[in-house]
Amino acid sequence: MIRRNKRQRTQRRIIVVIILLLFSTGFLFYPVLNKRIEAKRVDPIPSSLEQIEADIREIQLPSADTEIYLDLVNKTHPLPADYVPSDLTEVAAVAPGVTCTQLRTPAAEAFAQLLNAAAFDGYTLVLRSGYRSYETQQKLFDGYVKKDGQNAAEQYSAPPGCSEHQMGLAVDVTSPSVNYKLKRNFGSTAEGSWLAENAHRFGFIIRYLDGKQDITGYIYEPWHIRYVGIQPATEIYRQNITLEEYLAQQP
């Protein structure tokens, strides 16, 4: 009887020791396991929009190079007739039937990211017009003069050599909501509002603002955006000023 009791006590002691060993082992490994779990929890999975913004930051040029994209082209600062950008590239997302489908490479890459961000938010935007040569601009302007007269044409169309489109940095943007046309009411559409509020994030500005015709020389064009780089575009957007006004502020 005594032996049996001793055997039972011994067995119980063994069981207790095993239980204690299991608990101690569990506590030893718990921090490691927990660390792995926490690592998985905090490891962010970038969303499409986050990836888009990361991509655009990667292609953003150094500030010294960004100055190249701040060149002023307007009625008093024309380009030579033979000026053609050396780094033109095709833009994939274009309106049906358009032919001016190129931009300078930095602008084209930034524009692609802008379109992706718009699509992520549920909006469809496409290029209506990109780079236009001096000769192409001459034909367009002459046609507008024939239709509406010289003075009227100069309010909404640039004479040859005076168009930002010849720079390869300007984009006329449109959407299905306006039948892929360039209409003033584009500014009041959901797509136009999104463009006005977000273009600067990708280095673009609304070039011809409402109420700024005396400065820019052109009536309000909510579809016309110009690539200047993210930092200048953000400052221009925050101040709600034109490129001319921004450049006048620079030392």
CB 59 within 8 A of CB 229: no
Residues 177-186, mean pLDDT to the nearest whole number: 95
Burial (0-12, 13-18, 19+ Cβ within 10 Å), 203 = buried
Instruction: Report the predicted TM-score, pTM, of the whole model to 2 decimal places.
Output: 0.75
Q: Are residues 22 and 129 in the same domain?
A: no
197 and 156 together in one domain: yes
Query: What is the average pLDDT across 128-140?
Result: 98
Among the options 154, 164, 191, 221, which is catalytic?
221
Verify that 19 and 98 share a domain, yes or no: no
Could you tell me the pLDDT band of residue 10, with boundaries at 50, 70 and 90?
A: low
Answer for the pair 246, 239: CB distance below 8 angstroms, yes or no. Answer: yes
Sign of CA dihedral 72, 74, 76, 78: positive
CATH number at residue 58: 3.30.1380.10
Instruction: Tell me which of 54 and 142 has the higher pLDDT.
Output: 142
| Model confidence pLDDT, tens digit, residues 202-224 | 999 999 999 999 999 999 999 99
Q: What six digits make up the tokens of 199?
A: 């273009």
SS3 content of the chain, % helix, strand, coil (to 5): 60, 10, 30
For 181, the domain range is 48-249
- pLDDT tens digit string along 29-62? 444 334 333 333 333 334 455 555 555 444 444 4
Report pLDDT for 68: 76
For residues 38 and 64, state if they share a domain: no
Same domain, residue pair 21 and 125: no
β-strand partners of 227? 204
Residues 3, 115 share a domain:
no
Q: Are 37 and 94 in contact (CB under 8 A)?
A: no
Q: Is there a catalytic annotation at residue 221?
A: yes
Counting the structural domains of the chain, the total is 2
Query: Residue 101: is its pLDDT beyond 80?
Result: yes
Q: What is the mean pLDDT of residues 81-95?
A: 96
